[in-house]
Each structure stands twice: as structure tokens, then as C-alpha cells.
A and B are shown apart, each in its own frame.
Chain A
Amino acid sequence: MTVTRTLATARRVLRQLGHDPRTMALLLLVPVLLLVLLYYVFDADPGRFAFIGSSLLGIFPMVTMFLVTSIATLRERTSGTLERLLTMPLGKGDVIAGYALAFGAFAVAQAGLATGVALWLLDLDIAGSPWLLLLVALLNALLGTALGLFVSAFAASEFQAVQFMPAVIFPQLLLCGLFAPRDTMQPVLEYASNVLPMSYAVDGMTQVLRNAEVTGDFWRDVVVVSGIALGVLALGAVTLRRRTP
């Protein structure tokens, strides 16, 4: 694994996105538009908007990066480019880190825009620092990238890859505390939510929303989300095989 090759991979991934302005526009604008929609849905209840809106700021990067990465790496696997790259002096870590870097950078732009609009145009009132929101959003994007990379190994087609979205993301969405507080769920579900990373992602956002100072729970959330992201990235590296049947 070398810095030059990792950076070259990240630049290549961003260049690919650059030739696809429609995808870029969708990635950047859809979260903003959904937040605006949500703002008017909770027209009469700004407190509810603050809670769900801040949670969504964490969920968007995870979901979009999951989809983008799973499709992008599936294409690499099926088009022969990955096979070719792995016969060259490129480390698996270069591929993984290159993707994580590129989509991480893109996620910062996406989350920055969405957070900016939420805070300054939609009057989302948070107690903590907006930078902490951005930090959690970035970690969530990395988690999404990691999960996408990993599941792409189990998809043989883009149809299958897209179906992993409801399979992997929706259960987490239902259990993360957005719809009902986690401690009020049926105990089995509460335990399940304790091991799902999105629960910590959403909790991290809520901590920033409610507390002016950085709480211990916030750090726990940050550690859990980044730990799982790194672990899944490592699993993703295992699915990159130089020799395939």
C-alpha cells in the first residue's frame, strides 16, 4: 500500500463522478430537498423537525455512500478493471482506502451543504457545534462506503446490489430510534438495535442536538461508528481476491 497509489485511486474515483454531473447533482441536492420537505411536514412542530432533521443529517451520507459504493465496486468487479488492477502492483488497501477517501471527501461536501441549509435556512436549532455534526456525518459516510464495498462482493448484478439497500439499511433505520425510542422497543429489538451501527450514528447526532458540551456518550458513538466502519473496510479488503475462480 502506497500513498501515491491510494491518492491516484481516490482521484480516479472522483474523476469518474466528475464525468457524471447528474449523479453529483442528485447526491448533493436530494438531501437538501428532503430536509426542506421535512421542514414543512413538521410545520407545526419545530422540535420534532430538529430531532428527525439532525438524525437524517447522519443517515443521508450513510445511505447514499452505501448505494454509490456498492454499485461502483460491483462495476469494478464485473468489468474486469479490478481483476486487471490486482495483477498490477496495487495493494488491496490502496483500492479500499482510495474509495474511502474519495467518497469521504464527497460526503463532506454533501453533509456540509445539507448541514448548512438545515442550520441557517431551516433554523435547525442545535445546542452543540455544527462541526461535530459534520464529523459524525463523515464517519457515517465512511460506514456507508465500507458496507457498500463489503456487500458488493455478494451481488452478481446491479439489481442485486440495489436490493441490499432495503436489506442492510432499512432494518437499521427502523431500529435506530428515529421512529420510537430504542428503550421502549420489544427487548429483543432493543438488543438488536444495540449492535447496529446506525443506532450510534443517530445517537451521536442527537447528543450534538441536545448538549452544548461534548458528552461521553458522543465519544462512545464516534468510537463505535468509526470502529465498525474500519472493521467492515477490513472485511471488504478480504473480499478483494487477486485469484478468482
Chain B
Amino acid sequence: MINKSPVGDPPPPPAVRARGLRVRRGAAQVLKGLDFTVERGSVTGLLGPSGCGKTTLMRAVVGAQARVTGDLRVLGAPAGSAALRHRLGYVTQAPSVYLDLTVRQNLDYYAAVLGIPRAERARAVAGALGDVDLTSHADALAARLSGGQRSRVSLAVALLGTPELLVLDEPTVGLDPVLRRDLWALFHRLAAERGATLLISSHVMDEADRCQRLLLMRDGRLLAEGAPAELRERTGAGSVEEAFLRLVDADRARESENGESENGEGDR
């Protein structure tokens, strides 16, 4: 149960399955051959320091990233397929909402884009607003909201179409502790009640224990994959943060031993 369960593709394919995932940006290799699986219905945390490739990995999963090689399947289909656009919710790191529209007008537009019929739109919008606790600001212009409120509007957009896979890029950064707790409760509710899968990135290690499974990244590679308790146990650390640091140290030691030979065979 550590990782890479050698599946013969059971009935529901995993939410995300990557084999040899590589991404190039300019001359740099940003993702250097990742293998991982995100199980259906799980709340999976993607953790690692800033600049380690978390956003690139998420963009690859939602099909927004160019120059992706390797095998990346999302809900059983190749990442970026047109059929997936109905089934994914993606929240970018910077809130992608229209500042010159009200909160409700933002959600109303995205609901129309997602194909929610006109008659059901108001209800879907009200539901998403309630989920992120912004009902009282529905008619405020997004430009007038605080940064935290804007990122919640951005999150609400992703909740509109009841997606099967939610890819959230640092959704809780800059929010106060109460709100963060409420949002994590919401994430777990989405997984438990709607059966949604959530892939959530963070560079704040104390959020790790709120996830069922973790993917720890460093410098474009995957250091470890597993449940928080499992990672602590495996490294003999008291916290996920400590476990991460131990893994980094071990990784560095291995690097200097091998003389940095992690860049494998060439790709296109």
C-alpha cells in the first residue's frame, strides 16, 4: 500500500494516474518524471516548497499546461480531453474572477459556461455561495472584496458544476484560521457526501494532517506518497514537516552520491 499499486484498471479508474510525467518550460525541466496515483474520493494534499512544480503539475492535470510528456490519465481519460472539461473544477492560485462584476454575476457567468440550465442557475449559485460563506456579499463588486474573499469566490466557481475532481491550487493561503478550518471541513464534506476527489496544494506543512493522502514534492520530483501517519512512521518523525525535512535530507545525500544523475533519458 505504499505507492504505485499495480492495478489492472479496476472498474472506476483512479482520479489521477501519472507515469513518467515530465514537463518542460523553456529550457528547464520542471517536472522530472513523476509516478503517482490520486485515489477516487480522497482528499490528497500536494505539498512542497514554493517553486517545486506543484502548480505545473496541477495545470498538467487540468490540461492547461503545454509540453507535457509521459502518461497522465484523469478520471480514466487522457488529461486535457474535451470530455473532462465537464468533470473538473480548477481553482488557480491567483483568484481568477472578474473584478468588475459582482460576486453573483461572476458565478452566474461561469454557471452558464458550465452548461447549468438557466432555471437551475440561481440555485447552483446560491449553493456555491453558501458553501464558501459569501452569501452576504453576493451583490458586492469583486474588486471591493478582500483578497481572502476573492479567493473564496474563485473557489465557489469550482463548486458550481458538482465536479468529480477538484484541483485546488493553494486555496487556503492567506485566510484566517477559522475560515481555513471551515474550508477544510467543506473539502472533506465534498469528498464524503458527493464522492468528489480533491487534489489540494499547499506549501504550509501544518495543513498536511488535514489530508488523507499526501504527495510530497521537491524540485520537480516526488519524494514520497502516502497517508500522513504512514509518512511519519516511515521516517520516524513526529510531524509531517519533520518527515518532509528528513526526506529532503535523504534525497540530498542520494543526489550528492549519484552526482546528480536524476535527469533521465531525453524527451521530445
A binds B: yes
Would you call A16 an interface residue if the criterion is a C-beta within 8 Å of the partner chain's C-beta atoms?
yes
Considering the chains assembled together, what is the distance between the CA atoms of A245 and B59 in angstroms? 10
Residue B123 at the chain A interface, CB threshold 8 Å: no
- The one of B64, B67, B95, B113 in contact with A89, judged by C-beta atoms closer than 8 angstroms, is B113
| A242 touches B (CB below 8 Å) | yes
Tell me whether B112 and A4 are in contact (CB under 8 A): yes
Q: Tell whether, in the assembled complex, residue A89 and residue B92 are in contact, meaning their CB atoms are under 8 Å apart.
A: no
A9 vs B98: C-alpha distance when bound (angstroms):
12
Q: How far is the CB of B256 from chain A (nearest CB, A)?
A: 31
Using CB atoms, name the residue of chain A closest to B102.
A19
Residues of B within 8 A of A84 (CB): 90, 92, 96, 157
Chain A CB within 8 A of B69 CB: no
Check if A80 sits within 8 Å of B96, measured CB to CB: yes
Q: Is B110 an interface residue (CB 8 A)?
A: yes
Q: Which of B80-88, B191-199, B206-214 is the interface stretch? A: B80-88
Give the residue of A9, A16, A79, A243 whose beta carbon is less than 8 angstroms from that of B65: A243
Contacts between the two chains (Cβ within 8 Å), count: 82
Q: Which residue of B lies closest to A80 (CB)?
A: B96
Residues of chain B at interface, number, CB under 8 A: 34
- Which residues of A, 80-102, contact B by the 8 Å Cβ criterion? 80-81, 83-90, 94
Contacts of A94 in B (CB 8 A): 113
| Interface hub of B25, B90, B110, B141 (most chain A Cβ within 10 A) | B110
**Minimum CB–CB distance for A126 against chain B, Å:** 38
**Chain A residues closer than 8 Å to B67, beta-carbon distance:** 245
In the assembled complex, A30 has its CB within 8 A of some CB on chain B: no
Q: How far apart are the CA atoms of A243 and B23 in the complex, in Å?
A: 12
In the bound complex, what is the Cα–Cα distance between A241 and B99 (angstroms)?
23
How would residues 90 to 129 of chain B score, 1 for a CB under 8 Å from any chain A CB and 0 otherwise?
1010111111111001000110111100000000000000
Within the assembled complex, what's the spacing in Å between the Cα atoms of A81 and B100?
Answer: 12
Residues of B within 8 A of A88 (CB): 85, 110, 113-114
Give Cα A184–Cα B180 distance, bound, in whole angstroms.
Answer: 71
A89 surroundings in chain B (CB, below 8 A)? 82, 85-86, 113-115
Asked whether B64 lies within 8 Å of A8 as measured between CB atoms, the reply is no
Q: Are A8 and B109 in contact (CB under 8 A)?
A: yes
CA distance A140 to B126 in the complex (A): 41
Please indicate the chain B residues that have their CB under 8 angstroms from the CB of A85 in the complex.
113
Nearest neighbor of A89 in chain B, beta-carbon distance: B85
Question: A190: shortest Cβ distance to chain B, in Å?
Answer: 43
Q: State how many angstroms separate the Cβ of A22 from the closest Cβ of chain B.
A: 12
Write out the residue numbers on chain A whose beta carbons fall within 8 Å of the beta carbon of B62.
Answer: 87
B259 at the interface (CB under 8 A from A): no
A3-40 at interface with B (beta carbon < 8 Å): 4-5, 8-9, 11-12, 15-16, 19-20
In the complex, whether A244 has a CB less than 8 A from a CB of chain B is: yes
Complex Cα spacing A103 to B64, Å: 28
Cβ contact within 8 Å between A19 and B101: yes
Determine how close the nearest CB of chain B comes to the CB of A117; give it in whole angstroms: 29
Please, how many angstroms separate the alpha-carbon atoms of A244 and B157 in the complex?
22
B63 within 8 A of A: yes
With an 8 A cutoff between CB atoms, is B253 at the interface?
no
A79, B63: Cβ atoms closer than 8 Å: no
Closest to B90 in A: A87
Residues of chain B within 8 A (CB-CB) of A81 are: 96-98
- C-alpha spacing A244/B105, complex, angstroms: 27
Can you name 30 A-B pairs with beta carbons within 8 Å?
Answer: A5-B113, A8-B109, A11-B109, A12-B98, A12-B101, A16-B98, A16-B100, A16-B101, A19-B100, A19-B101, A19-B102, A19-B141, A79-B94, A80-B92, A84-B90, A84-B157, A86-B64, A87-B64, A87-B88, A88-B110, A88-B114, A89-B114, A89-B115, A90-B113, A241-B66, A242-B80, A243-B63, A243-B66, A243-B80, A245-B66
Among all A-B residue pairs, the 7 with the closest Cβ atoms = A80-B96, A8-B112, A243-B66, A12-B109, A89-B85, A84-B96, A80-B92
- Seen from chain B, the residues whose Cβ lies within 8 Å of a Cβ on chain A are 25-26, 62-68, 80, 82, 85-86, 88, 90, 92, 94-102, 105, 109-110, 112-115, 141, 157
Contact surface of A with B, Cβ cutoff 8 Å: 4-5, 8-9, 11-12, 15-16, 19-20, 79-81, 83-90, 94, 241-245
Known: A19-B101, A81-B96, A243-B64; 8 extra A-B contacts, CB below 8 A, are A16-B101, A19-B141, A79-B96, A86-B64, A89-B82, A89-B113, A244-B64, A245-B66
